[in-house]
Structure 1
């Protein structure tokens, strides 16, 4: 185990159903199986991260199979790097994490999210992993302890990513291109803001470099009003657009473009 105390950064050891550091900071394992390593002083609100309604919407949509090709490609890429230890940063309700776990059966797997509601549901998908409620800005794992970090539709602290990666390891980042959900965005906004697919590459810190990049796109037919409502609820567009435009999207079947970029960013 390479877990570290979120309060004093010393190593954590398993004692009974808890983890404890030499200074005596103790964290109990929840009955669902996860560890809460988010001390109250590191929270910005009482229950940070996605709430139960957002988590449930994402779970329904992903379990409906709409994004299966995305998860399969992520798992294939991860398996090719053969990490000894990996971490999914911002794992949400665990759909992609479980696919990663299936493709890396021999590896030591960790997953974290700041949302307790998300992790509580996620840990049922792959009980063999170490599931953590923790901050992405203060990941409770030792320096250079991971060969692979996965970041799926998630914000990222680049300095933390660099700290966590062993030399030769890498960050597998999966995020939207400017074409992603274009038809949905055109229905929701009077003016669709364009954005640069490569902007995140400017944030890569020294000591890391882009080693591989590819995109995957396909057309998705959304005939179910529940699926359309869930897609809105799990994206920022769901709360940015007006209630009237959201209702119009939910009312009628639509076809959307799914266009995702995968980057492998190595620690030199």
Structure 2
């Protein structure tokens, strides 16, 4: 086991009720099968991360298969790398994580999110993984313990990613392009802000490099009002736009562009 104590960074080993380190810091295993490795002093709020309503919206939307091609391609790219160990950073409700687990049946898998509500639901999808409530800025895994990191629509601490990766391992990042959900954004805002979907490449630290990049795009017909409401709830646009604009989006069906970029960013060999 590569888990380390989030308080003192000593190795964690299994105990009767969960995990413990040599300094007697202990962490219980919840009945849903996850470990809470987020100490109170590392929280910025009482319940950080997505709340139950946001998690349920994402679970319904992804469970209905609207983004199935995205998850499928992510799993294919991960399987091509054949990692011995992997971590999904910011796993959310676990839809993408579960598909990674299916694609990597012989690898040691870990998943974390700062939202307890998300991990509580996610842990049921793939009980063979080690699920954690933890901070992405203080991942409770040892240095160089992962061959693959998956980051799906998630913020990233690049220094932490580099620390976690073994030499030759890589970060599989999945994020939006500038045209992603363009039609939705046009309905919500008077002026749609453009952004550079390669800007994250400027943040790659020394000792890591971009080895592969590709995009996947397809039209998605949103004919169901619940799906439109769930899409709003699981994106930042759901709380940035006015209530009137949100209601108009939910009221009638429309087609939206899904456009995603995948990057494989490798840590250099020593």
- Relative to the length of structure 1, the TM-score reads 1.00
Looking at structure 2, the residues matched to 67 and 50 of structure 1 have their Cα atoms a distance apart, in angstroms, of: 19
Deviation at 1:161, TM superposition (A): 0.1
Query: 1:144-183 counterparts in 2 under 5 A?
Result: 144-183=144-183
Looking at structure 1, the residues matched to 84 and 261 of structure 2 have their Cα atoms a distance apart, in angstroms, of: 25
Spell out, residue by residue over 1:163-208, the C-alpha distance to the aligned partner (whole angstroms, 9 max, x if none): 0000000000000000000000000000000000100000000000
Looking at structure 2, the residues matched to 254 and 234 of structure 1 have their Cα atoms a distance apart, in angstroms, of: 18
Residue in structure 2 matched with residue 103 of structure 1 by the alignment: 103
Looking at structure 1, the residues matched to 16 and 147 of structure 2 have their Cα atoms a distance apart, in angstroms, of: 29
Looking at structure 2, the residues matched to 34 and 115 of structure 1 have their Cα atoms a distance apart, in angstroms, of: 12
Residue in structure 1 matched with residue 21 of structure 2 by the alignment: 21
Residue in structure 1 matched with residue 238 of structure 2 by the alignment: 238
Deviation at 1:16, TM superposition (A): 1.8
Spell out, residue by residue over 1:136-177, the C-alpha distance to the aligned partner (whole angstroms, 9 max, x if none): 000000000000000000000000000000000000000000
Unaligned runs of 5+ in 2: none
Looking at structure 2, the residues matched to 176 and 99 of structure 1 have their Cα atoms a distance apart, in angstroms, of: 19
31-40 or 14-23, larger mean C-alpha shift: 14-23
Query: Which portions of structure 1, spanning 4 or more consecutive aligned residues, are displaced by more than 2 angstroms?
Result: none
Residue in structure 2 matched with residue 4 of structure 1 by the alignment: 4
Does residue 1:204 correspond to 2:204, yes or no? Answer: yes
Residue in structure 1 matched with residue 119 of structure 2 by the alignment: 119
Spell out, residue by residue over 1:74-119, the C-alpha distance to the aligned partner (whole angstroms, 9 max, x if none): 0000000000000000000000000000000000000000000000
Q: In structure 2, the residue corresponding to 1:125 is in which secondary structure?
A: coil
Deviation at 1:17, TM superposition (A): 2.7
Residue in structure 2 matched with residue 137 of structure 1 by the alignment: 137
Does residue 1:257 correspond to 2:236, yes or no? Answer: no
Looking at structure 1, the residues matched to 103 and 167 of structure 2 have their Cα atoms a distance apart, in angstroms, of: 22
Q: In structure 2, the residue corresponding to 1:32 is in which secondary structure?
A: coil
- Relative to the length of structure 2, the TM-score reads 0.99
Unaligned runs of 5+ in 1: none
Spell out, residue by residue over 1:30-82, the C-alpha distance to the aligned partner (whole angstroms, 9 max, x if none): 01000000000000000000000000000000001000000000000000000
Query: 1:44-123 counterparts in 2 under 5 A?
Result: 44-123=44-123
Paired residues, number: 268
Looking at structure 1, the residues matched to 153 and 210 of structure 2 have their Cα atoms a distance apart, in angstroms, of: 18
Spell out, residue by residue over 1:111-137, the C-alpha distance to the aligned partner (whole angstroms, 9 max, x if none): 000000000000000000000000000
Report the aligned-residue RMSD. Answer: 0.3
